[in-house]
Structure formats: structure tokens, C-alpha cells
Amino acid sequence: MSIPKPTAGELELLQALWPLGPSTAKQVHEAMLADKPDLAYGTVLRLMQIMHTKGILTRDESQRSHIYAPAQPQDALQNSLLKDLMQKAFAGSAKALVLAALRTGISKKERDEIEKLLKEDKQ
């Protein structure tokens, strides 16, 4: 069974959870407050419960405060989402996707990193 694609809100929560590692809803809520100071704890908890039901998060219920973790690693989910985007928006063309990304405006630092990566790949 494949894990469903997360919604925008679920992705936002995953972005907070990935660097934390397995965490309680309270820990995730505190991490998300920096960007969303009005975010209610109950909203985070409910979203995490929904994500667990959908299979996006796992839950360890052995302690009083349940510990949640992503059901798949960050790179695996990002690769899956990228492949899906490439198929849907760019007719399966990786080249078209990369060119669109480069045209949307990247920083000089990012461009230098990409060029370095491409040079290393040639060697």
C-alpha cells in the first residue's frame, strides 16, 4: 500500500517534524510557532492524528505523550512528489522541470552549487 500524497498543510507539518525526528505534538507545535505564532496546539494535534490515520505518520503509543514520526524519509517523499509533479506538469520531462526551476529565479549561491555539482558529475 502506498502512502498518500500530503496536503500543503501536512507538508508544512512534515517540514517541522523532519529536523526534529520522532516528536510529540507539543514539540512539533513549538517548532511551528516560529513561523505561525497564532497556530493552536489543538490544530497541530488534530492534523497529526489525521496524518497518522492516513499513514503519513507513525505513532508510538507506549508513553503517555504519543511520539509521532514520518512514515517515510524526507528524501523518499520529496522524490515521489517530484516525480509526480514532473509527470503531471512537465509531461515527464526532467529537462523541462529543471529549466522551469532555473527560470523562476535562483540565487547566485544556489547557481554556483548547481554548477559545482554538474562539474563533479562529469568527472
Q: Where in the chain is the domain with CATH 1.10.10.10?
A: 8-70
**Given the C-alpha cell 492524528, which residue does it identify?**
49
CATH architecture of the region 8-70 = Orthogonal Bundle (1.10)
Q: How far apart are CA 44 and CA 21, in angstroms?
A: 16
Kindly report the pTM of this predicted structure: 0.80
Please determine, for residue 115, whether its predicted confidence score (pLDDT) is greater than 90: no
Rounded CA gap, 111 and 36, in Å?
30
Using the predicted structure, report yes or no on whether residue 122 has a pLDDT greater than 90. no
> pLDDT tens digits, residue range 47-92?
999 999 999 999 999 988 999 999 999 999 999 999 999 999 999 9
In whole angstroms, give the CA distance from residue 24 to residue 29. 9
